[in-house]
Amino acid sequence: MKQMRQLRAAMFLHDITQEEIASRWNRSTAYVNERMNARACFSVWEAYDLCRMLEIPIAEMPEYFPDKPIKEWRRTSGQA
């Protein structure tokens, strides 16, 4: 879950909460939390928007978002 740790760190540095992201996207906090815990995937638009919000260069996006299907990513990263 290295990518999500990096994303959480960037959120912490920019003082942005899951609640604020949910509000910006007109979604529930649970919706954002599912993505932060790799139970669902971020959409491309959401990934780009988070990069803008957190000042993450687009070229660094793969460092913050998994490039595999969730089941495969969780299996290879030791997640249940």
Q: Where are the domains of the chain?
A: 2-76
Locus of tokens 């997640």: 79
- Model-level pTM? 0.79
Q: What mean pLDDT comes out for the span 28-34?
A: 96
pLDDT at 36: 92
Give the pLDDT score at 4: 84
3-state secondary structure of 59: helix
- Residue 33 backbone dihedrals phi, psi, to 5 degrees: -60, -40
pLDDT at 37: 87
pLDDT, the chain, mean: 87
Please give the full DSSP string across 6-54, using - where no structure is assigned.
Answer: HHHHHHHHTT--HHHHHHHHT--HHHHHHHHTTSSPPPHHHHHHHHHHT
**Section 47-55 average pLDDT:** 97
**Class assignment of domain 2-76?**
mainly alpha
% of the chain with per-residue pLDDT over 70: 80
Q: What is the mean pLDDT of residues 46-51?
A: 97
The interaxial angle of helices 44-53 and 18-25, nearest 10 deg, is 120
